[in-house]
């Protein structure tokens, strides 16, 4: 009987010690998790980098949609907006770009700027406003460039659009890679003892 009691008391002591260790480990983990620092995901391990060729393929697809739709709208709006050349070009460019941008955002978020090794990707509510802002800047530069090339250089709108949009392609890639779809992740840093 005494042997059983002694073994039982030892088991209880071991169990209490294990529980104390578990509580101490949990408290340490909570303390460490309070210390959070934002670190650019490129600093740590080697993350999945966006492929320039995937971006080029995505952009080519969306550019094709943009160019064809803009060309159709240039022709359709030639009569109603005959006296307002810049307005016609701007309206055509905006409508065509809105359609192609919707496709472009989905393709770039899902296929080009892929999640890192932890499966994290920039949240849509964070990347979408940046994407729209960058697209607005590129759209204004594109419309202004097409208008200037058409009015002052005598180029056809569709030809000028191809040249201007090709020049803006690199600005767009850099902006999306460095700003829109940049993946900042939260890294927990343990406290030094």
Count of Cβ atoms closer than 10 Å to residue 134 Cβ: 18
Among residues 138, 151, 177, the alpha carbon closest in space to that of 48 is found at: 177
The predicted pLDDT at position 44 comes to 42
The predicted pLDDT at position 161 comes to 81
Among residues 143, 168, 154, 136, the alpha carbon closest in space to that of 89 is found at: 143
The predicted pLDDT at position 40 comes to 43
With 0-12 / 13-18 / 19 or more C-beta atoms within 10 angstroms meaning exposed / middle / buried, residue 82 is exposed
With 0-12 / 13-18 / 19 or more C-beta atoms within 10 angstroms meaning exposed / middle / buried, residue 148 is middle
The predicted pLDDT at position 2 comes to 66
The predicted pLDDT at position 116 comes to 55
The predicted pLDDT at position 10 comes to 78
The predicted pLDDT at position 115 comes to 61
What is the pLDDT tens value at each position of the chain, 193 positions in all?
Answer: 667 777 777 777 777 777 777 767 777 766 665 544 444 444 443 444 557 788 888 888 988 898 889 888 888 887 777 777 778 877 887 888 889 888 988 888 888 876 655 556 666 777 888 888 998 898 889 888 988 898 898 888 778 888 888 888 888 888 888 888 776 544 344 555 4
The model's pTM is 0.56
Are 150 and 89 in contact by the 8 Å Cβ rule? The answer is yes
The predicted pLDDT at position 185 comes to 44
Contacts of 188 (CB under 8 A, 6+ apart): 32, 33, 35, 36
CA distances from 146 to 37, 91, 134, 137, 164 (A): 45, 12, 18, 14, 7
């Amino acid at each position: 009987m005494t042997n059983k009691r002694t073994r039982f008391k030892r088991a209880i002591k071991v169990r209490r010690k294990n529980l104390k260790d578990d509580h101490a480990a949990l408290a340490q983990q909570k303390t460490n998790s309070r210390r959070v620092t934002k670190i650019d995901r490129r600093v740590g391990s080697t993350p999945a980098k966006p492929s320039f060729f995937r971006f080029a393929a995505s952009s080519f697809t969306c550019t094709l949609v943009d160019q064809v739709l803009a060309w159709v709208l240039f022709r359709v709006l030639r009569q109603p907006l005959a006296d307002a050349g810049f307005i016609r070009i701007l309206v055509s460019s905006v409508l065509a770009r809105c359609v192609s941008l919707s496709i472009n955002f989905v393709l770039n978020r899902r296929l080009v700027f892929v999640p890192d090794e932890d499966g994290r990707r920039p949240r849509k509510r964070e990347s979408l406003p940046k994407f729209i802002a960058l697209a607005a800047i590129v759209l204004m530069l594109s419309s202004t460039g097409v208008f200037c090339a058409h009015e002052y250089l005598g180029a056809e709108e569709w030809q000028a659009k191809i040249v201007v949009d090709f020049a803006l392609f690199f600005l767009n890639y850099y902006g999306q890679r460095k700003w829109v779809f940049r993946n900042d992740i939260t890294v927990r840093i343990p406290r030094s003892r």
